[in-house]
Amino acid sequence: MEWKLDRTSKKPLYKQIADFIEQGILTGMFSQDSMLPSERILAKELGVNRSTIVSAYDELQSLGIVERKKGSGTRISTDIWGVSHKRIPNWGRYMEDGSFLPNLPFVRRIRTETRKHNIINLSSGELSPSLWPNEQFRTIFTEHPFMEPLGYDHPMGNASLRETISAHVKEYRNINTSSSSMLITSGAQQALHLIVQCLLKPGDAIAIEDPSYFYSLPLLQSAGLKVYYLPVDQHGINPDDVEKLYKKHRIKMIFLNTSHQNPTGASLHPSRQKKILEISSELGIPIVEDDPYSLISFDGEKVSTLKSMDESGNVLYISSLSKIVASGLRIGWVIGPSKVINRLADAKQQVDFGHSIFPQWAADEFLKDPYFDAHISMLRDELKKRRDEIIRSLEVYLDEEVEFIPPKGGIHIWCRVKSAFNESQLLEESMKKGVSFVPGSVFGSGKGYVRFTYGRGETNLIQEGISRFADALKVCTRQ
Ligand SMILES: Cc1ncc(COP(=O)(O)O)c(C=O)c1O
């Protein structure tokens, strides 16, 4: 074949090949109903990978130009100019071209594996099933008649639930707000998504913690944002770093998980909180404070949030019931200036016409129930037991191999593994041995870390889980 690929062109190679063949059919170079060269032969002839030819043939098939049958090769469609041929969309390409990115590969792998096998789950960022208040929900469902209208609810969320959450954040988080400054969302996750979509545009620079949960969300990249990092130490981020990033990149928004941070467990020190609020109002940069964990401090002390000190409306405060009641409820909220909340509510209405009444009603009843206090105390005690259990297990099985700072609340522990290891190999080996964890790179940190979620593990299985992980680590660091 005389024709050559243009390797300097911006047009992908598979597309050049597909266009060349399509052109060849139009000019009669390839006759109708004839066979095209096999993928292997054409790949060799053009000096490309076989996968490039597969993509080119996929493209032509999606246009109805060729027909492919397993085992009998690729032929030019017999009905290329007719009306009857069926076109098969090139789903692979559609899926690659969509602007919303898929989850990180490690995240997808862990999710499917933990569902499939009988694995001790130290990876999912949620409470273990034995900590969900199922019994209390059963009581609510039997004792409280459901009387709510079943039409589309208020765009900002159910009015009664918003009143209840306003009282809840006042009592437990020292935040003064009102129901007109709050939007109910499908977990904290949807609140983050709405903020990114409504308040930022492609090319905007934002700052997130490193390591951080936000890093694990391709939604920031999907929105075309430039992401810069604020290193986290045991007291959270350093305010000076915010100023430096602002000077260099004109960051437009800061995303912080201020208490018992995922994954490090660190809480932002009060002196740093104050400084960060000062910087935020000096520079006019809004802060998105994501706070799913502040209620589960083991010493039971109220943790002060940035929002509780925010006098000028610089902070958008996000929280949810996922880590303190149950993740499957999908109840979250965002609190902020009412014009911003209205903008987010308008977007939420376009996306899903507002939140379903059933979880909102159940959440409202649960939060108003005097049992809520007892539930939170129980949760703190149980999570502390799990924290102690995982620390004991790490000391027994991995004393020489890992180091960590004991978390004072939350559900995660962040461990540095002292020897070098390959993350994929360790994950596969661990899952083979029946335990899951999350590799550190998911949270953006350099390799060499792992996150265990003790809150998801049942107390009697944590020790076994860490012992299996230790066996897997031995295999991976032996070389
Ligand atoms: C810091 C942080 N923010 C937000 C979320 C999302 O939680 P949800 O959407 O279930 O409220 C998580 C979940 O792990 C998290 O750790």
**Residue ID of nearest Cα to ligand 1 atom 4:** 188
Distance CA 477, CA 419 (A): 7
**In the CATH hierarchy, which fold is given to the domain comprising 138-369?**
Aspartate Aminotransferase; domain 2 (3.40.640)
**Contacting residues for 15 by C-beta, under 8 A, at least 6 apart:** 56, 59
Query: What is the CATH code of the structural domain delimited by 13-97?
Result: 1.10.10.10
CA of 257 relative to ligand 1 center, distance in Å = 10
Which atom of ligand 1 has the smallest separation from the CA of 126?
A: 14
Strands 226-233, 120-121: pairing is: unpaired
Assess whether the C-beta atom of 304 lies below 6 angstroms from ligand 1: no
CA of 260 relative to ligand 1 center, distance in Å = 12
Distance CA 247, CA 270 (A): 24
Q: For the segment 139-165, what is each residue's pLDDT rounded down to a tens digit?
A: 999 999 999 999 999 999 999 999 999
Assess whether the C-beta atom of 265 lies below 6 angstroms from ligand 1: no
pLDDT of residue 86: 57
pLDDT of residue 26: 77
CA of 471 relative to ligand 1 center, distance in Å = 30
Q: Per the structure block, which two tokens stand in for 62?
A: 């999606």
CA of 23 relative to ligand 1 center, distance in Å = 51
CA of 319 relative to ligand 1 center, distance in Å = 8
CA of 220 relative to ligand 1 center, distance in Å = 15
Question: How many residues make up the chain in this entry?
Answer: 479
Contact (CB, 8 A) for 441 and 108: no
Which atom of ligand 1 has the smallest separation from the CA of 213?
A: 1
Which atom of ligand 1 has the smallest separation from the CA of 191?
A: 9
Assess whether the C-beta atom of 67 lies below 6 angstroms from ligand 1: no
Q: For the segment 169-182, what is each residue's pLDDT rounded down to a tens digit?
A: 999 999 999 999 99
CA of 189 relative to ligand 1 center, distance in Å = 6
pLDDT of residue 92: 75
Which atom of ligand 1 has the smallest separation from the CA of 261?
A: 1
Question: What phi, psi does 297 have (nearest 5°)?
Answer: -85, 135
Model confidence, pTM: 0.85
Which atom of ligand 1 has the smallest separation from the CA of 212?
A: 1
CA of 304 relative to ligand 1 center, distance in Å = 19
Distance CA 289, CA 266 (A): 14
Assess whether the C-beta atom of 166 lies below 6 angstroms from ligand 1: no
**Residue ID of nearest Cα to ligand 1 atom 14:** 125
Assess whether the C-beta atom of 445 lies below 6 angstroms from ligand 1: no
Q: List the chain residues with pLDDT less than 50.
A: 84
Assess whether the C-beta atom of 322 lies below 6 angstroms from ligand 1: yes
Assess whether the C-beta atom of 290 lies below 6 angstroms from ligand 1: yes
Assess whether the C-beta atom of 332 lies below 6 angstroms from ligand 1: yes
CA of 290 relative to ligand 1 center, distance in Å = 8
Question: What phi, psi does 119 have (nearest 5°)?
Answer: -100, 145
Counting ligand 1 atoms within 8 A of each CB, the residue from 320, 333, 414, 442 with the most, and so the one to mutate, is 320
Q: Which CATH architecture has domain 105-125+374-477?
A: Alpha-Beta Complex (3.90)
CA of 444 relative to ligand 1 center, distance in Å = 16
Longest CA–CA separation in the chain, Å: 81
Counting ligand 1 atoms within 8 A of each CB, the residue from 220, 290, 296, 348 with the most, and so the one to mutate, is 290
Q: Dihedral (C-alpha) 189, 368, 156, 339: value to the nearest 10 degrees?
A: -90
pLDDT of residue 81: 63
One-letter-per-residue 3-state SS of the chain: CCCCCCCCCCCCHHHHHHHHHHHHHHCCCCCCCCECCCHHHHHHHHCCCHHHHHHHHHHHHHCCCEEEECCCEEEECCCCCCCCCCCCCCHHHHHHHCCCCCCCHHHHHHHHHHHHCCCEECCCCCCCHHHCCHHHHHHHHHHCCCCCCCCCCCCCCCHHHHHHHHHHHHHHHCCCCCHHHEEEECHHHHHHHHHHHHHCCCCCEEEEEECCHHHHCCHHHHCCCEEEEEEEECCEECHHHHHHHHHHHCCCEEEECCCCCCCCCCCCCHHHHHHHHHHHHHHCCCEEEECCCCCCECCCCCCCCHHHHCCCCCEEEEEECCCCCCHHHCCEEEECCHHHHHHHHHHHHHHHCCCCHHHHHHHHHHHHCCHHHHHHHHHHHHHHHHHHHHHHHHHHHHCCCEEECCCCECCEEEEEECCCCCHHHHHHHHHHHCEECEEHHHHCCCCCEEEEECCCCCHHHHHHHHHHHHHHHHHHHCC
Q: Count other Cβ atoms within 10 Å, centred on residue 249.
A: 13
pLDDT of residue 82: 57
Assess whether the C-beta atom of 436 lies below 6 angstroms from ligand 1: no
Map out the domains of the chain as residue ranges: 13-97, 105-125+374-477, 138-369
Q: What is the CA radius of gyration of the chain?
A: 27
